[in-house]
């Protein structure tokens, strides 16, 4: 669960580094979103959710495991008939969907490799059963760790200040957000496990494509699907 200050400043913290509309356009070109049943794992403040709705899906299931995020989504998208807002761990679902989308590198946000493997295995299972397309954002932790260590300010408004520190660990990458919000010292750590590409390579019926999402090539969009014979 995220600390209370996280969503209050989320869009200011990360909005400068993302082009939400462009990212959904990339996905829409890979697999058309119109009239599809779409599942978005980790909807957060709804930035990608809004862009997905603009693509006229048949149904959009916005999934998040954080009640704060769910409350924000219900306020922002009240009374939309083709949107279901669900409080749930999206990586444990086994519902039908044409397209499953997971951005923000949420799939890697654990320091336990076994948890990440279970998440990937669940997605592969759903591809096997439902022949759905899965599009997830992955951070190349090896490329990220080539810098070994970095620290810089990512938000400043005169009263509040947040810094980001990146540290290499035995599991992958640890991102540490820290600073001062309303005269209180705050800290939030996000561990990122290395993505197990071997799981995808070992499945004879699964294909995947990798599309860069950033100029540094650190962020990639993986399109995972059943092989087209």
* Residues forming a β-bridge with 212: 220
Q: What is the pLDDT of residue 186?
A: 83
Q: What distances in angstroms separate CA 60 from CA 72, 82, 120, 135, 221, one per listed residue?
A: 16, 6, 21, 15, 20
Q: What distances in angstroms separate CA 123 from CA 10, 50, 187, 202, 222, one per listed residue?
A: 27, 24, 31, 14, 12
Q: What is the pLDDT of residue 180?
A: 87
Q: What is the pLDDT of residue 147?
A: 52
Closest to 82 in 3D by CA, of 102, 104, 52, 103: 52
Q: What is the pLDDT of residue 146?
A: 46
How many degrees, rounded to 5, is the angle at CA 189 between CA 185 and CA 193? 170
Low pLDDT (below 70) residues in the chain: 1-17, 142-149, 171, 215-216
Contact criterion met (CB below 8 Å) for 224 and 207: yes
Calpha distance 112→38 (Å, rounded): 28
Q: What is the pLDDT of residue 131?
A: 97
> How far apart, in Å, do the first and last CA atoms of the chain sit?
42
Q: What distances in angstroms separate CA 113 from CA 76, 107, 108, 184, 193, one per listed residue?
A: 35, 11, 9, 33, 6
Q: What is the pLDDT of residue 209?
A: 97
> For the residues of 36-87, what is the DSSP string, one character each?
-EEEEE--TTSHHHHHHHTT--SEEEEEES-HHHHHHHHHHTTT-TTEEEEE
pTM value is 0.88
Residue entry with tokens 């197990």: 196
Q: What is the pLDDT of residue 120?
A: 98
């Amino acid at each position: 669960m995220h600390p209370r200050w996280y969503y209050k400043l989320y869009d200011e913290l990360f909005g400068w580094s993302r082009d939400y509309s462009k990212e959904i356009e990339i996905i829409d070109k890979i697999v058309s979103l119109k009239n599809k049943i779409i599942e978005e794992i980790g909807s957060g403040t709804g930035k990608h959710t809004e862009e997905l709705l603009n693509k006229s899906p048949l149904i959009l299931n916005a999934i998040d495991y954080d009640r704060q995020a769910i409350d924000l989504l219900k306020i922002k998208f009240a009374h939309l008939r083709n949107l279901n807002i669900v409080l749930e761990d999206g990586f444990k679902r086994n519902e039908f969907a044409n397209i499953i989308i997971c951005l923000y590198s949420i799939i890697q946000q654990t320091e336990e490799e076994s948890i990440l493997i279970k998440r990937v295995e669940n997605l592969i299972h759903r591809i096997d059963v439902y022949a759905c397309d899965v599009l997830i954002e992955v951070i190349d932790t090896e490329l990220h760790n080539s810098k070994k260590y970095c620290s810089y300010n990512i938000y400043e408004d005169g009263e509040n200040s947040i810094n980001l520190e990146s540290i290499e660990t035995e599991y992958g990458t640890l991102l540490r957000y820290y600073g001062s919000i309303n005269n209180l010292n705050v800290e939030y750590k996000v561990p990122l496990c290395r993505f197990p590409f071997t799981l995808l390579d070992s499945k004879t019926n699964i294909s995947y494509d990798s599309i860069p999402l950033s100029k540094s090539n650190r962020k990639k969009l993986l399109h995972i699907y059943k092989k087209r014979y």
